[in-house]
Each structure stands twice: as C-alpha cells, then as structure tokens.
Structure 1
Amino acid sequence: MERARNGLRVNRTAAGGPGAIDWSVAAATGRKLVRGGPPVPRARAEQTVRALHEVNGTAELHVRELTGLGHGLPLRDAEVVDRQGWIQAATEGLSALTDDAVPRRVDNRLSALFAGSAGVQTGMLLAFLGSRVLGQYDPFGPSAAEGRLLLVAPNVLSVQQALDVPAADFRMWVCLHECTHRLQFTAVPWLRDYFAEQVGKLLTGFGDADDSRLGRLPELLKQARQSRQTRAGADPIGIAELLTSPEQRAVLDRLIALSTLLEGHADHVMDAVGPQVVPSVAAIRRKFTERRRGGGVLDRALRVLLGVDAKVRQYAQGSAYTKHIVDAVGMSGFNLVWESPESLPTRAEITDPDAWLRRVRP
C-alpha cells in the first residue's frame, strides 16, 4: 500500500494493481467543491471550537450514566475540524474500511482512469455531505484501537444559527449523539470487527456479481415502483437491494438493521438525557426534525438520490425501537443487544420490537 502526496492510502495489490477508488482524488475533489462555512468573526469561530472540545467529555459522562456503557474507559477528546478536514478524515476511514474488500483492477492506464473517475464521483458526494454532517465517530480511522470522533465546527454553528436555539444547548445535544456512537464501538468489543466483516462480505459480493443484473436494472426499477404501491408504509427498495443476490441481501439486511439500531439508539439518548442537561431539548428536537424534512427541490432530490432521506427514516425507526424496548424492560434490558451479534435485532424486528423481546428474553 502506497501513500499519496496528501498522506492518504492508495489501494494497491501485491502485484501493484490499483483499488476501485482513488481516495487521493476523492479527497482533493471533495475539498475543492465543498462550500465554505458561515461567515462569522474569527473570535466566534474560535470560541465554537474551544466549546466543542470542552463539552465533549462532559457529554460522554452523561451518556455513560444513562446507558450504563463505557464505565472505566478513558475519556478521550474529539477532533474539531472544518468541512475540508471532515472530507479528509472521511476518505481515510472509507479507505481503511474498504481496502481489503473492494475488487482490484489490473494495473494499467485504463484501470487508473476508472479509479480516478470513481474518486471524482466520491469526492462530489463527500462535498455534498461535508456541508451537512455535524459530527461522526469513525471506528476505522488512523488509530483503529481508539477510532476518532469528529465534530464539524462550521456545520454545528451554521445549523444552530439556522434553528435559532441556544448555542451551548445545541453543542451538548450534538455531542451526546456522537459520544453515544463512540461508546457503541468502544464499549462493545466485537462491534467494530463485526461491522467491518459485514461490509467486506457485501462489497466482495458486488465484485463477484453477475453483470446481467445491471442490464436488468430498468425492469428491476419498475418492479420496485410496483412494490412501493403495494407495500404501504414499507421502506422503499434501494438500488443496492435491487442489484444484490439473495446471499448479499441477507448481509445488506443485517447492515441496515445494525445502522438503524446505532442511529436510533444515539437519537434516543440525545433526547433522553433530558432538560436537566439540555434545557431546550424539546425545542431543538422539534426544529431539527422540521429542518430534516425541508430544503429546496434540488436539495430534496439530491437527498433521495444519495440515500439521505432513507437515513432520516432510520433515525425515526431506530429511535422508536429503542424507546419501546427501554420502556418495556429498562436500559439494562435493552443492553442485551450488545451481548453478541446474535443478540442484534433483525431488520424485521426493528419494526416489531416485541418480536426481538420474545426471541432474546423468552
């Protein structure tokens, strides 16, 4: 594995073949295209960065107390970054996660062209997300043992101003969510490897996929539209699901269920900590939910195309699942989900939490 000029890893096989995505191109494209942050005085920007560093540890202590996770683990600081810094970190984490799973190409000029083109497309996606992401815990960053928690200062400030909510409350609220993600991976020792294993299985399956499925994509999309009309209230079928084999679909279902659980659990915690920690939590949640549904026509179209709207539904489904279980058996009962991969809810159980309770707590 070689290093690009900017320090990013570039996929290489033992024979020198490039990976499917040139991550140095993705990082450079994303940093170039991402919009600048909100225009604020330097003093305000520096104060926001300092405050995010300060609140991070306090937020994690609140999460530990509520969830019962992570007692005895060291408290680690977050990395407070700008939009370009988040894109750089995201490409590093994605490269680490996919290096061994994404199919390699023969080392020639054409394969390098494909990898560069994929890098440009990935960079465009990261530029879109880079102006929206508030924070992220990356378990696959440079230090795999510790991971890295990123807080995107200009986005936190921009959204707080747009919502017109107290700055200190909003910073704490965001940190509660991201610290929950950090504890999910640091307090549950098997979770990181399990997640990476499932992603590897999914990507390897795509590499081995029959090209005939791509040729049938128009027919498959028509079937998906008909399915949406007959499955009222069901999740829409994504293109990834249309192109998967039955074996891959089982892996994808596990990943969707896990992602929904992780996001919903974090959303539940950030509200459940309560007004004693975030006095304006009810107003923040109401305004933030309205903002998630808003946006212009182009913005909404891009969100659908990139799967952002599906992510929003994951928050709601996962939060409802978590609340139902906690109300029924308490947080200690809910924490049975972290016992082993077999204790995780299935995709069907996410929308039928009583089924999970019957299986795990007969």
Structure 2
Amino acid sequence: MSNQPSDPDRPELPPQLTELLRSLLGPDADQVIEEMSERGLGMTGPDGTPVDLQAMVQAAGLPEDPAALGQVLEQVKRMLAASGDGPVNWDLAHDLARQVAVAEGDPSVDEQQRREVTAAFSVAELWLDVATDLPPSGGPVRAWSRSEWVESTLGTWRTLAEPVASSVADALADTLASQATDVLGALGDQEALGLTGGAGQMMRQLGGAVFGMQVGQAAGTLSHEVFGSTDIGIPLTEGPGTALVPRNVTAFAEDLDVPVEEVRIFLALREAAHARLFTHVTWLRAHLIGAVQAYARGIAIDTDSLEEAVRTIDPTDPAALQEALSGGVFSIGTTPEQQAALLRLETALALVEGWVDEVTAAAAVAHLPHTSALREMMRRRRAAGGPAEDTFATLVGLELRPRRSRDAATLWSLIAADGGAAARDAVWEHPDLLPTAEDLDDPSGYTARRTAEGDEHADLDRALEEIFAADEGKDGDGAGQQDPEHGPGPGRNPDDGGTQSS
C-alpha cells in the first residue's frame, strides 16, 4: 500500500481496477495506482483517445462485491502460478482431461473385459489375414478405461495442437497486453511504461492456461466417445499395438440392434486394420503428423478479428476466453500454399479411412451378419464427428476427419478388383504412389491414368537408355586417339608421337 496521505480532491481508481492491478503487478502496483490517481480518471491514451477507467471496469464485468472480486482474482492467480512458458499449459490440460474422463465414474477395466477384448482381437487378426497382405502389427493388446485413454494419448495431442496454439497464444498475448499498455501508457512516464513489459508474458501464461483448459476439456470429452487409439485416423500412440475402451464399446452397442459381441469384433477389426497399416507403412504416421504441423505452423492469425473479439470478453475470466476459442472467433486464415497442403492432408486421411473401411468389410462380411449396417453406422459417425472433434478443429486449425472416405473406399475396392489385395496394399509402398484428389473424383479412371503414367515413364526410360548408348558409342569412336591429359593412346610411340613399328 502507498504511504501517501489521502487527498479528498483527487479522484480514486475504481476499487476493482485497484485490486486487479495489485493482483497482476504485485509490489509494483502501488506506484502505478498512485500515478494514475494523481493524473485523474480523464486520462488519454497515446493516440489522444480518452481512457474511461470506470467504463473499462464495467465492460470487463469485474464484480463490485469484494468477495466475488476476490474469487475472480484468486482464480487468475492460480492459473498464472500454474502456467509454464509454453503455448499450452499441459499440466492443466492433463488434470482437466482426467477430471472430465471420470466425471460419470470411470471404473477400472476388470479381467472379464480384458479377456473379451483379447478374444476379439484374436478373431480380428485371423480374419484380417485373409483380407490383406499386411501382417499383424504385433505389440500389446490393451483394454483401457477412459482415464487410461487420456494418459496414453495426450502426448500426441500435444504434438498436434502446439504449433497452432503457439501462433494463437502469441497473438492473444499481444492483443490483451496492448490493452494494459494503453491504460498504463497513458501515464506518460517511462518508468510506468516499463511496468507493461511483463504484461505480454503474463498474458501468454493466461493464454497457455486457456489453451490447456480447452485441450483438457476436449480430450476428456473425447475419452467418452472413442473406441480405441485410431478413431481420428491418426494413431494417438507410438509403436505397434491395439486397444479398445470396453465401456465405450458397450455403450455404443446399447444403441444398436446388434449383439455386443458382434460390435466388439467389428471395432477390433477396424483398430487392428489401422494398426497393421501404420506399423508396416512406416512413413505414414510421420507423414500425416508432419502435414498437420506444417499446416498449423503457417497459420496467420487475423489480428483485427482477434482484437474485436477481445473487446467483448473479460480478459480476467478464463471461461470467457475459453468460450471465445470454442466459438472460433479468431478467424484463422490460410494461404494458397496451406490450402494445397490441406487438400493433400485431407486426401491422405480419406485414403486411410477408406482403406480401413474396405479391408474391415472384406474381413467381416463372411462372419458378421450385421457387417453392412455397422459399416454404414461407422461411416456416418466418422463423417459427422462430435463436439470434441470440433474443439480440436479450432485448436489444430483443421478437421481431423475424412470428408471423402466413401470415394476412397470405392477406389480401393476397384484397385483390388483389378489387381487383387496385393495390388491394393502395394500402393502404400511410397507416398508418391498414393492416389490424388483427382483419383477420388474419378475412381473408375484410376487404373487408366496409372497405366498412362507408366507408359510415359517407360518412354522416358527408353529415351534415357538411347542417350546413354549414344554417349558410349562416341567414346568407342575415339579409341586410338591421343589423350592430351593422359599421354598417347594405344599404338603410339611415347617418345616421338610417331607410329610404333610392327
């Protein structure tokens, strides 16, 4: 507190603003409060615009009740104290995700459920051996509770979310800090202006906490919806292995007129097919995650839209910031290069989902009576997504669900019809062999286009062979001539250059 005597003629700062400054600036706050009080409430900012502190406090929604204000400020303190230096507060994300995962109770997986999951994968692997040349993935078979799913997958969400979180967090910090700078900078005092230097870092911490809340809420919600580790088309764990969440499998089967045993095997088939693909196509996981990261790193934030959004929310209220993020108010824009990258990524995701869809159906159709119904149900589910996937679309900057999986499944079916399962699976040998968006537009023309490309390559190879052969012929014609660098050729006298006598 300041030791200066109270001046009845000097206007006082709104008490909410006084407490907020003390909460955020610590011991330095008293000097700022003193300066602002001495200069009065009718200050102007650097651009000459009047700064109405009372109006600012009202717009921020800071409560007048001291107890309620104290709760708000204490919440801000806790969040800042828990925030690290990164764009996302992952400790907060982890804790919140666990809380959401267990909100409806999260009993441990019992031995009966483990046996059922193990048996389902044993059957699934046998059936897939007939449907694809890719061998089983190997690795552990896991039965997870919802909180175990969170623990096992949050690391990959970190990899996916941090690039765009960094861009948005920086823009958010700069925008929120500029508001503090406008107010403190109105003092016109260099020392007071220096106090704003920590505002950017503080706001980054607040932004990291908000992103942590967002990711944690979404991961926890998603733990109630997923069946295994590959539901979004990108494996959320590293290394080989398969997993199911028995509670979610049972809940899904309850809404269907299909025996739970049949549902469990069908979902095990999908998980095991994903696992085979990502284990034996060794470049695929890194290819997809790298594409997501490259796309996200290039995102440019629309700062005008961000500033407009911040004016309508209370920057001291993390829930308001979280709601703003959920509403997509940041208007993340993309460049033409990113649009092209996004098209390639979405095509690859569709190809993964289409391949799994086709292989799973081929493996199940002779054994599961409800294969067609389950296949259609999964197609609709993947196409529609859910609230948690929508949240991650905001954080990652794109929707991690395939838009054209039906077209991709049709394409894989046609490739298998023309060349068998081996030809279909051989397409995954190299990323350059993957079908394109044009192939999804016209699956029936894929074989003809690839044949034409093969003919062009063959023509190029023949032309290169002819060029190399011609060069070798020229080298042969020069036999017996003097080599200016290496001395005389065959049949020459090394002393006088004349012809050697016979």
Bigger shift: 254-263 or 49-58?
A: 49-58
1:189-338 correspondence runs (5 A)? 189-206=282-299, 209=300, 211=302, 243-285=333-375, 311=401, 313-338=403-428
Q: Is the 8 A contact 2:86 2:208 kept in 1?
A: yes
Q: Which residue of 2 aligns with 1:116?
A: 209
281, 288, 293: which one pairs with 1:188?
281
Equivalent of 1:88, from 131, 141, 151? 151
Match of 2:130 in 1: 65
Q: Supply the distance in 2 between the matched residues of 1:301 and 1:153 (Cα, whole angstroms).
A: 21
**How many matched pairs?**
315
Q: Spell out, residue by residue over 1:89-141, the C-alpha distance to the aligned partner (whole angstroms, 9 max, x if none).
A: 22122224566786487893322221110111122222332221111236463
Map 1:127-146; keep pairs closer than 5 Å.
127-137=220-230, 139=235, 141=237, 144=238, 146=239
TM-score, L = length of structure 1: 0.72
Contact 2:88 2:162 in 1 (8 A): no
Unpaired runs of at least 5, structure 1: 1-15, 219-237
SS in structure 2 of the partner of residue 79 of structure 1: strand
2:475 aligned with 1:358: no
User: Considering only aligned residues, what root-mean-square deviation do their CA atoms show, in Å?
Assistant: 4.0
Contact 1:214 1:243 in 2 (8 A): no
The residue that corresponds to 2:488 in the other structure is none
* CA-CA distance at 1:259 after TM superposition: 0.6
Which residue number corresponds to residue 27 of structure 1?
A: 94
C-alpha displacement of 1:245: 0.7
Amino acid at match of 1:79: R
Q: Distance in 1 between matches of 2:362 and 2:330?
A: 34
Does structure 1 conserve the Cα–Cα contact (< 8 Å) formed by 2:130 and 2:363?
no
TM-superposed CA distance for 1:309, in Å, is: 9.5
Aligned AA (1:125): A
Q: Which of 48, 55, 79 is residue 113 of structure 2 equivalent to?
A: 48
- Summarize the Cα distance change of 1:242–1:359 in structure 2 as closer, same or farther, 3 Å threshold: farther
Instruction: Spell out, residue by residue over 1:152-205, the C-alpha distance to the aligned partner (whole angstroms, 9 max, x if none).
Output: 111101111221312222111101111111111111122122223222211221
Deviations 1:46-103 (A, max 9, x none): 4233211232243134223311112xx6632322112222222221222245667864
Q: Report the CA distance shift for 1:56/1:121 in structure 2 as closer, same or farther (over 3 A).
A: same
Q: Tell whether the 8 Å contact from 2:144 to 2:246 is kept in structure 1 after alignment.
A: yes
* Mapped partners of 1:79, 1:267: distance in 2: 22
Q: Give the partner amino acid of 1:95.
A: R
Structure with greater Cα Rg: 2
Q: Which has the higher contact order (CA 8 A, sep 6+)?
A: 1
Q: Which runs of 5+ in 2 are unaligned?
A: 1-82, 171-199, 310-327, 453-502
Contact 2:96 2:216 in 1 (8 A): yes
Q: Which amino acid aligns with 2:115?
A: R
Q: Which SS does the other structure have where 2:258 is aligned? A: coil
Q: CA–CA distance in 2 between the matches of 1:186 and 1:116?
A: 35
Which SS does the other structure have where 1:135 is aligned? coil
Q: Provide the C-alpha distance between the structure 2 equivalents of 1:344 and 1:281, rounded to a whole number of angstroms.
A: 27
Change (3 A) 1:196 1:161: same
Q: Which secondary structure state, in structure 1, belongs to the residue aligned with residue 298 of structure 2?
A: helix
SS at match of 2:242: strand
- Matched-pair identity in %: 25
Matched residue of 2:401: which SS?
helix
TM-score (norm 2): 0.54
**Matched AA of 2:278:** F
- 1:258 to partner: Cα distance: 0.8
Structure 2 distance, partners of 1:119, 1:317, is 36
